[in-house]
Chain A
């Protein structure tokens, strides 16, 4: 492979981005409002169709057509004529041809009283800025004749920062982007012990369905209990609801702890700590064999597992450590409010609890320090139905339970997964 003189390449790439930037500023740049007849020419002295959309239209008015404002960037290729005639140009020269699609994706925050025109103007500025970012990232990652496509991702940072957009080179794994993430953590003044900018942390818009079909955070639709002088402590971030009968796996009656473990694994994946996907029952069993906890015959069996096994698998497959909490009888759980609250405050991971003959996932507690009243937010892996959020929450498969939920005389082990301190 020939190596090519770098400055020449950089100039050409920069020139291409320059042309793209001017296209974004040109009259032929068009924004179409998805699922509506609204089309906006942001650069052409604010021209739009239908006629009701004018410079004074405020964002709230767009809601007559659409609830989530998603715009698509297009190019108008028709122009009033006559223009230059059609020309075929042939160049014969040994060279390289580079063709890539730049997935531009910008966000602008608007309040419902902002005019559409204002928002479009800001959006166009963002597009230009994003082209600048993309140019930088492209130039940064040229190696010989390989080019990495720049790819924007949105990340939700704690208030008041909100959504920010970062351009990453496509295909580069998180492990190689650590320096960039450190720089971002510094820039946004974020703690350096938990990830905000891994690819898995990318923000998922509410109107976009998840392709894998699992429900996310079903607890969010619940009304949380208000206890006298009490506070609610919840799991942080996003998890998927795993339960009996999913993935064409009939584990009814024995798989509850496995499902709780899957829910926990889904949390670590979606927070960006691990890239591996949620393990299957077999993979969980294999992991236990690999650490010497079980015999080989265990794989493929229908044997139960408990918190200790959950802890072992989390360690083996995800590199995650967990604390084990033990209560000798279920009635004692009522007094564990402080510890559970503290866990959700500092770690925010889902808890697997096993005891009696059942395993569950605890997603949060409502606890009053003064009265000692306590409620537990339970995600029940024993559900065998479809991913019906209404049904799941109505019937309490994800719901708040009181201390009487536990078998008062059985002993319980709780597995409290700990966040790895990485970014």
Chain B
């Protein structure tokens, strides 16, 4: 039995090209989507050269570097795409690389999943793939491991090439408002503290997103509804999603606490997920989109904090400004050639040029993209504003004045009483109470 991997022809071309490089060993990642019935491999990317590495490309495998590469690549994959496994191209027999492959695939999966904000769901596929290609004979050996089970044994899997694997894949997208506010501890406002506090805030926000209602093209579909995919070429199937949130699932403990300030993340993000075209269900669309929403915000926050921490370390003077605003990087999309609607993405800080994005795409994903190929229209970077007075962006629109009508309750034909039970989280009203201590 075993799993069956449907692999795009482009991947075969890519792997062949790598075989022709006279390297003794090339490692890389396999990217695609797993589903219960079938798995799809959409692209592959070799592990980039380390700067300090020697000229000889046949040096010993740097496992940490491979996993770090995987972590960075994972950030560049929109919803629905993930690192499915690892490949090694060598001029030796497959059996020589099996142990390494096993170690790599577990390390990669463990690192990537440790960064997830969401909890795994029961219908997640936990098998990862390892592929060995003999560069001389071009023979491939494909096996899977259940990464949930540290003791799992290799299982054989099918590796079949096909053209246009994602040509009729579905895109689900939305543009979403983020509003997360958390207090900072007193007298400790370093970036590390901010990181911890934001992690808490993101966890709470994750629950809201996970419990939110997801509409596809304006409708709430039943979990098992199959999304229609057009089998006609060049017809892009796109669903616009809407997310409705409420806080009433988990009543947060009411709190009045002293704090040293606040940190907030506010603004809009573009989120998207790709679904395979093999009878995908509404439940899958919702799961993948929500995961993309969570990871794109978490990734950007992480990236900014990493930058701030480096800045903090390099300059001995801590930023003593009362209020500081930092622009989080915006999301830029890059189509994967020959892969239908599927795009990868990168994050561009406001001070970066677009060329840096194309460079990263080349380094991480081995994609040759020109600046014109990049889609920068989905998001705009907010202007970074320096410190100032207490600023409340997002001041709500003027409330409309409604004339009060005399409500005469009708006594006949009651169908019952219409009742709304709702919860408004005071903190998400975009303001914190600052009570200056006297």
Contact = CB atoms under 8 A, between A and B. Distances in A.
Contact of A92 (B178, B268, B322, B427): B322
B433 A13 contact: yes
Given A69-B419, A78-B177, A86-B266, A3 B327 contact: no
Contacts of B418: 59, 69-71, 107-110, 119, 123
Contacts of A23: 396, 424, 429
8 contacts: A19-B430, A26-B397, A49-B215, A69-B419, A71-B420, A91-B324, A91-B390, A97-B183
Contacts of B396: 18-19, 22-23, 26
B241 interface: yes
Interface string B232-248: 00000000011111111
B260 A86 contact: no
B432 A70 contact: no
B255 interface: yes
Given A89-B325, A93-B434, A146-B256, A76 B242 contact: yes
Contacts of A102: 423-426
Contact of B415 (A12, A69, A78, A146): A69
A264 B231 CA distance: 71
B257 A97 contact: yes
A25 B399 CA distance: 7
Contact of B410 (A26, A101, A109): A109
Interface in A93-121: 93-114, 119
A60 B429 CA distance: 35
A82 B270 contact: yes
Contact of B323 (A25, A31, A67, A91): A91
B264 to A, nearest CB: 5
Contacts of B265: 86-89
Interface of A: 2-5, 8-9, 12-13, 15-16, 18-26, 28, 30-32, 37, 39, 49-50, 59-60, 63, 67-114, 119, 122-123, 125-127, 145-147, 149, 160, 162-163, 205-206
B432 A97 contact: yes
Contacts of A59: 415, 418
B186 A94 contact: yes
Contacts of B434: 12, 93, 95-96
Contacts of A83: 175, 177, 267-268
Given A74-B246, A94-B187, 16 more contacts: A31-B420, A78-B175, A78-B243, A86-B297, A87-B267, A88-B326, A94-B437, A97-B183, A97-B256, A98-B256, A99-B425, A103-B423, A111-B410, A125-B402, A163-B417, A205-B417
A149 B252 CA distance: 12
A119 B407 CA distance: 11
Contacts of B432: 95, 97-98
Contacts of B124: none
Nearest to A73: B422
Given A88-B301, A105-B422, A113-B413, A4 B429 contact: no
Contacts of B38: none
B158 interface: no
Contact of B380 (A18, A85, A98): A85
Closest 10 CB pairs of A and B: A73-B422, A81-B175, A85-B382, A83-B268, A97-B183, A86-B267, A22-B396, A86-B328, A95-B434, A111-B410
Nearest to B219: A49
Contacts of B267: 83-87
A91 B396 CA distance: 21
Nearest to B189: A92
A252 to B, nearest CB: 40
A190 B330 CA distance: 62
Given A74-B244, A105-B422, A81 B220 contact: no
B177 A79 contact: yes
Contacts of B53: none
Given A101-B254, A147-B256, A92 B300 contact: no
Contacts of B258: 94-97
B323 to A, nearest CB: 5
Contacts of B60: none
B259 A97 contact: yes
A99 B253 CA distance: 8
A8 B436 contact: yes
Contacts of A32: 213, 244
B426 A145 contact: no
Contacts of A74: 212-213, 244-246, 422
Interface in B366-399: 377-382, 390-391, 393, 396-399
Nearest to B320: A92
Given A49-B220, A96-B435, A110-B415, A82 B377 contact: yes
A97 B189 CA distance: 15
Contacts of B257: 96-97
